[in-house]
Every structure is written in structure tokens, then in C-alpha cells.
């Protein structure tokens, strides 16, 4: 083939990736491992292999998805332009979406017929025409932006930044171009690359439970985390990591070309090792061992972008190994965040001596009445029919914009007992959850299917880092950031306020009984 501008040497994982024609091809790898280059070269292969139409043109339209346009423009665009021949096309710098077009000879025969205006005939050689549509999609609501897209196949770059609904939307837009009268679609699918996803991410479930027509690939880690018996941690770079020859500063000696091939490869390999050592050292200076564990060691750990509100949360301690079932005829405490149009609820119950969060509900752009009627009540009737309920909700008790009813009034009309905490102070609410996390007995455990709640505890609910120039150490906002995790976290807090209140009441009652018994013993001793 004529297109050989980019000298691509596939890794072991790359060879296996290119050998597959699965509908979904997903590769996980550490930072700097060449995943994106692998994906783009796979895309070029499929474009070159596309069946030609009657005019000798192999037409392909590729949808390229990433979380934001700045990422698409600054990084993904450059990766495409490295792999596809610069003399035959480009990717525009701006626009939403960002468009690109390449048109180059495949090299399977003479192609002067195009310049001469002659009709194409078999044996004349074909032209590869590739359209790129770079689209920023992140949250579930962004999926609507591609409902009319017609793509041959798609690329999802750095897939940890998107929601699962985006992936399913992309799957529905491939295999739609070109039509049969233009040669038909030779390959339809989704090519995905990703670093190690954070805990609770849907990509981990894809890796653990792949569908029949999915192929999952995993590159070796760039480093290994080694911990001794005293808890001291060190990191060692993996000499078998992929793409080492393309990493790091490689100022070659003047006589480098005179070296043996083995010596040259050792030199390039060692420079790649130095690259990872430098990267790991930089993250250690920031104290971001979570970044090292995830980006380089490929370990399943929570990420700390910002400062977690509940640093005492430990996944191994506070998340159950299997789904927790409700206890019949026992009281369920429902923590309920009623503010705005993002209502959320969590369901607490005492299970085997610990407060368990059994279920979670979250409504996107829903009013109070719709959330109660369509989500809260159906779950209660389906799963908690034989239990008592107490709803602990926001004491602000703001009226619903659609019905004019306060949350407490609406819930009481449905036959639910409502508790209004005495305060809405954020610090008090956060401390209530801290008290549950800090208990080994009567503390907190979360059912593993409550993904939103777990992600909030892992750092999704956080104090935003402030951008202060010249600060000696990191500074954070005094109040938790309002984001997609804060609604479910507020629900957790309202439930905890009721539980802690009841625990305090029980402790006071127990102390009173103990004092009474002690007094009785003193009286008996005097009598005796």
C-alpha cells in the first residue's frame, strides 16, 4: 500500500487487537503505552480495507468521541494527524463537531485516472476517502447530540470520561455508512481505549462481563507497587511494559547509528524506563499515590480529584461483598434530598448489627411528584412492602415547583412518616456520616450495587481545590462542591442525621438506666 508515512510497529497487545474484528474492541493500558496510536492505526486499516464503490472510492466516516472539545482539539486531533498522511488531508482546528477529511491512493494500482477525469475501471487502483467527525460527548444527556449521525465505525478515546449512555448511543450510530450502492459497510464497530478506570466505573463491568461480540485487551502495567510488612511502599518500573522505545528524551550519541541493533534497542528501552521513573517521582511529590496506582500500576483504586469529604471511607470495609437483602418487618430509614430537580434517596436499614445502605434512587430533571410516584413508591411496594418507613429529608422543605406542595406534605399524603432534622448545617450533616463510618459495630456498610453512593464516598463528593498561586500547600473550598455526586451524598447525610439522633437518644436512655441501677445498688448496700 502507498500510505506508509507513519512508521508504526505494533506491540504484542497491538497485534492481538488488530487481529480481532469484534464489534467492540476495548484496550486498557497504562499512561503512555501507545493505546491511542494503536486505535488510530486500526482505524486506518479498516478505512483502507473498506469495499470500494463503483467509482473506485473507498468511503469511510469515522465518529471520534471524547469527553470535551479541548481534549479533542489538543490531543485526539494530533493523534489522528500523526497516523494519517498529512499531504492528503487534515482535521480542522475548530467547530462543534470538529470535521476532517483525507483522500489518498491506496496503492493497489495506477491512480492517474482521477486527474485525467477518466471513469474508474477495476485494476486502475482505488482511493481511500476518510471523513472524521470529532464529537464531545460526556454525560447521558449528550447522547441526543448524535441521534442523526451515520458513521461507518467509531472511536472512543479515553473512555473513562464518558457515561455508559454515551457508549450505547455510539453503538447505535455505526454501520450506517456507506450504503450498499456505495460499496456497503465492510466493518462496523467501536474501537475504545482507556486507562485503568476508577472504582465503580462501567468499563470495569464491561471488562468483567464482556458480551459475546466484544473483545477486551489489557496491556501490561508500566510499574509494580511493592509493599513490605511494615506498610512501606515503593514502585518499580516494569521492564516488559509496552511502547518503552517511544517514550522519554532520547538524545542519541553521535555514533548511535554505528551501534548494533541490540545495543540501540537497549538504549531506547532504558530511556523509556527513565520516563516512567520520572513520571512516578513527580506524582509522589504531589502525594498522589492514587494516580500512580491507577495510571501506571493498573490497580483498581478510587481517584482523588479534589479532597474527599469522607476520607475515612474504605472500600474493603464499607462496601459489602455481595448485595444486601432487606430485613422483613424492620424499619427502613429513607434519606431524601428534595432540593431542585435532581431528587435523590438512599435506603438505610439495620442489618446484622450495622447500618446498611440497601438501595439508591436518583432522578435527573424530575419534579418531586414524579420522583415519588415513578421511583420511590414503586421501589417501596416492590422491595420493602413488609417494612416500616421513616423519611428523613431536607428541613428547608422547599415547595415543589410543579405542584406547590412541600416535600413533607406530599410524602405524608402518601402515608409516609416524615422526620425533619433540626438543622441543615453542612458540617453537622457531614459529621453524622463520619460517626457512622468511624464505628466498627453499628457502623456503615453499602450494598455493592449502589454505584452512585459508592462513587460519592470515593471522592466524587469532594471539596474543590482552589487555584491559589504561590500557595505552599493545596487549598480547598470550605464547602463541598455541587456536582453530579452531591445530590446522592445529601440524601446519605439526611438519613445519617436521623440515625445518629436515634443513636444519641438510645445512648442517653441507656445511661439513664445504668444510673438508676447504680443508685439502686447503692441503696441496697446501705440497707444490707
Query: Which string of DSSP letters, residue by residue, matches 185-216?
Result: -S---EEEEE-PPPTT-HHHHHHHS--TTEEE
Q: How confident is the model at residue 526 (pLDDT cuts 50, 70, 90)?
A: very low
Q: Is the pLDDT of residue 56 over 60?
A: yes
User: Do 187 and 262 belong together in one domain?
Assistant: no
User: Do 275 and 330 belong together in one domain?
Assistant: no
**CATH code of 125's domain:** 3.40.50.300
Q: Over the stretch 375-405, which tens digit does the pLDDT of each residue have?
A: 999 999 999 988 988 999 887 766 655 666 7
Q: Is 335 exposed, middle or buried (0-12, 13-18, 19+ CB in 10 A)?
A: buried
Assigned domain for 310 exists:
no
The residues, any chain, with a CB within 8 Å of residue 363's CB and separated by 6 or more, are 341, 342, 343, 344, 370, 371, 375
Q: Is the pLDDT of residue 510 over 60?
A: no
DSSP one-letter string for 439-474 = -SSS-EEE-TT-HHHHHIIIIISEEEEE--TT-SS-
What pLDDT was estimated at residue 522? 46
Q: How confident is the model at residue 461 (pLDDT cuts 50, 70, 90)?
A: confident
In the Cβ-directed half-sphere of 492, how many Cα atoms lie within 13 Å?
31
369 CB neighbour count, 10 Å cutoff: 14
212 close to 20: Cβ distance less than 8 angstroms: no
| 326 to 353, 377, 385, 399, 451: CA distances (angstroms) | 13, 16, 10, 31, 18
Q: Answer positive or negative: Cα dihedral of 20, 13, 37, 84.
A: negative
User: Do 199 and 256 belong together in one domain?
Assistant: no
Assigned domain for 74 exists:
yes
What pLDDT was estimated at residue 398? 64
Q: Which of 273-277, 453-457, 472-476, 497-501 has the lowest mean pLDDT?
A: 472-476
User: Do 181 and 89 belong together in one domain?
Assistant: yes
Whole-model pTM: value is 0.63
User: Do 322 and 206 belong together in one domain?
Assistant: no
What pLDDT was estimated at residue 286? 72
User: Do 248 and 215 belong together in one domain?
Assistant: no
In the Cβ-directed half-sphere of 182, how many Cα atoms lie within 13 Å?
14
Assigned domain for 6 exists:
no
Domains in the chain, number: 3
Q: Give the mean pLDDT of 298-318.
A: 80
In the Cβ-directed half-sphere of 118, how many Cα atoms lie within 13 Å?
10
315 close to 302: Cβ distance less than 8 angstroms: yes
User: Do 87 and 108 belong together in one domain?
Assistant: yes
The residue assigned the cell 439513664 is 512
User: Do 186 and 231 belong together in one domain?
Assistant: no
Q: How confident is the model at residue 213 (pLDDT cuts 50, 70, 90)?
A: very high
What pLDDT was estimated at residue 21? 96
Q: Which of 63-72, 301-310, 434-443 has the highest mean pLDDT?
A: 63-72
Q: Is 61 exposed, middle or buried (0-12, 13-18, 19+ CB in 10 A)?
A: buried
Q: How confident is the model at residue 304 (pLDDT cuts 50, 70, 90)?
A: low
Assigned domain for 509 exists:
no
The residues, any chain, with a CB within 8 Å of residue 90's CB and separated by 6 or more, are 81, 100, 101, 102
> Which three cell numbers mark 124?
486502475
User: Do 232 and 215 belong together in one domain?
Assistant: no
Q: Over the stretch 108-144, which tens digit does the pLDDT of each residue have?
A: 776 655 554 566 666 678 889 999 999 999 888 888 9
Q: Return d(Cα 319, Cα 322) in angstroms, integer.
A: 9
**Percent of the chain scored above 90 by pLDDT?**
50
Assigned domain for 1 exists:
no
Q: Is the pLDDT of residue 472 over 60?
A: no
- Structural domain boundaries enclosing 247: 224-303
Assigned domain for 513 exists:
no
Q: Is the pLDDT of residue 470 over 60?
A: no
The residues facing 103 across adjacent strands are 129
**CATH code of 351's domain:** 3.30.420.280
Per the document, the length of the chain is 528
Of 185, 219, 253, which one is at a domain's C-terminal end? 219
Contacts of 312-320 spanning 24+ positions with Cβ under 8 A: 312/434, 312/437, 312/438, 313/437, 313/457, 313/458, 315/199, 315/454, 315/458, 318/437, 318/443, 318/444, 318/445, 318/446, 318/457, 319/445, 319/446, 319/448, 319/454, 320/356, 320/445, 320/446, 320/447, 320/448
The residues facing 223 across adjacent strands are 237
Assigned domain for 5 exists:
no
Assigned domain for 244 exists:
yes
What pLDDT was estimated at residue 187? 95
User: Do 96 and 52 belong together in one domain?
Assistant: yes
Q: State how far Cα 254 lies from the chain centre.
A: 46
Of 275, 303, 331, which one is at a domain's C-terminal end? 303
Q: Is the pLDDT of residue 239 over 50?
A: yes
Q: Give the mean pLDDT of 346-368.
A: 90
Q: Give the mean pLDDT of 160-172.
A: 91
Q: Is the pLDDT of residue 324 over 70?
A: yes
User: Do 339 and 395 belong together in one domain?
Assistant: yes
What pLDDT was estimated at residue 115? 52
Of 219, 235, 261, which one is at a domain's C-terminal end? 219
User: Do 357 and 293 belong together in one domain?
Assistant: no
Q: What SS3 string covers 65-94?
A: EECCHHHHHHHHHHHHHHHCCHHHEEECCC
Amino acid at each position: 500500500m502507498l500510505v506508509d508515512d507513519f512508521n508504526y510497529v505494533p506491540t504484542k497487545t497491538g497485534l492481538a487487537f488488530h487481529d480481532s474484528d469484534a464489534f467492540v474492541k476495548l484496550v486498557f493500558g497504562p499512561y503512555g503505552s501507545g493505546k491511542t496510536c494503536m486505535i488510530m492505526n486500526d482505524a486506518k486499516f479498516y478505512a483502507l480495507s473498506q469495499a470500494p464503490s463503483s467509482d473506485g472510492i473507498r468511503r469511510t466516516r469515522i465518529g471520534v468521541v471524547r469527553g470535551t472539545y479541548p481534549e479533542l482539539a489538543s490531543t485526539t486531533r494530533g493523534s489522528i494527524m500523526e497516523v494519517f498522511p498529512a499531504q492528503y488531508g487534515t482535521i480542522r482546528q475548530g467547530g462543534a463537531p470538529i470535521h476532517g477529511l483525507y483522500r489518498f491512493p491506496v496503492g493497489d494500482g495506477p491512480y492517474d485516472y482521477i486527474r485525467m477525469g477518466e471513469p474508474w475501471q477495476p485494476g486502475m487502483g482505488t482511493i481511500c476517502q476518510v471523513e472524521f467527525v470529532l464529537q464531545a460527548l460526556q454525560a447521558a444527556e449528550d447522547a441526543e447530540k448524535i441521534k442523526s449521525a451515520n458513521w461507518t465505525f467509531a472511536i472512543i478515546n479515553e473512555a473513562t470520561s464518558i457515561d455508559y449512555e454515551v457508549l450505547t448511543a455510539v453503538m447505535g450510530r455505526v454501520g450506517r455508512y456507506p450504503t450498499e450502492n456505495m460499496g456497503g459497510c465492510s466493518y462496523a464497530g467501536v474501537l475504545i481505549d482507556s486507562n485503568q478506570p476508577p472504582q465503580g466505573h462501567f468499563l470495569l463491568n464491561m471488562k468483567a462481563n464482556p458480551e459475546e461480540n466484544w473483545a477486551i485487551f489489557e496491556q501490561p502495567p508500566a510499574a509494580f507497587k511493592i509493599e513490605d510488612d511494615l506498610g512501606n511502599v515503593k514502585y518499580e518500573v516494569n521492564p516488559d511494559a509496552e511502547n518503552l522505545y517511544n517514550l522519554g528524551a532520547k538524545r542519541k550519541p553521535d555514533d548511535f547509528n554505528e551501534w548494533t541493533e541490540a545495543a540501540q534497542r537497549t538504549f531506547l528501552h532504558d530511556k523509556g524506563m527513565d520516563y516512567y521513573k520520572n513520571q512516578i517521582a513527580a506524582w509522589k511529590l504531589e502525594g498522589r499515590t492514587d494516580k500512580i496506582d491507577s495510571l501506571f500500576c493498573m490497580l483498581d483504586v478510587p481517584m482523588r480529584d479534589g479532597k474527599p469529604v469522607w476520607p475515612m471511607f474504605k472500600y474493603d470495609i464499607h462496601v459489602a461483598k455481595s448485595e444486601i437483602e432487606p430485613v422483613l418487618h424492620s424499619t427502613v430509614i429513607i434519606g431524601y434530598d428534595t432540593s431542585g430537580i435532581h431528587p435523590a434517596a438512599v435506603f438505610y436499614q439495620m442489618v446484622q448489627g450495622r447500618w446498611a445502605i440497601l438501595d439508591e434512587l436518583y432522578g435527573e430533571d424530575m419534579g418531586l411528584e414524579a420522583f415519588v410516584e415513578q421511583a420511590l413508591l414503586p421501589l417501596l411496594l416492590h422491595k420493602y412492602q413488609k417494612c416500616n418507613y421513616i423519611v428523613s429529608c431536607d428541613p428547608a422543605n422547599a415547595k415543589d415547583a410543579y405542584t406547590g406542595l412541600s416535600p413533607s406534605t406530599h410524602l405524608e399524603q402518601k402515608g409516609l412518616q416524615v422526620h425533619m432534622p433540626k438543622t441543615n448545617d453542612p458540617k453537622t450533616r457531614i459529621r453524622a456520616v463520619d460517626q457512622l463510618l468511624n464505628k466498627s459495630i453499628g457502623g456503615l456498610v453499602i450494598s455493592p450495587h449502589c454505584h452512585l453512593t459508592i462513587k460519592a464516598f470515593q471522592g466524587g463528593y469532594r471539596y474543590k481545590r482552589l487555584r491559589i498561586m504561590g500557595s505552599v500547600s493545596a487549598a480547598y473550598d470550605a464547602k463541598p462542591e455541587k456536582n453530579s455526586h452531591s445530590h446522592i451524598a445529601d440524601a446519605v447525610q439526611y438519613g445519617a442525621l436521623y440515625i445518629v439522633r436515634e443513636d444519641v437518644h438510645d445512648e442517653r436512655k441507656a445511661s439513664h438506666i445504668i444510673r438508676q441501677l447504680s443508685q439502686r445498688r447503692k441503696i441496697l448496700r446501705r440497707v444490707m
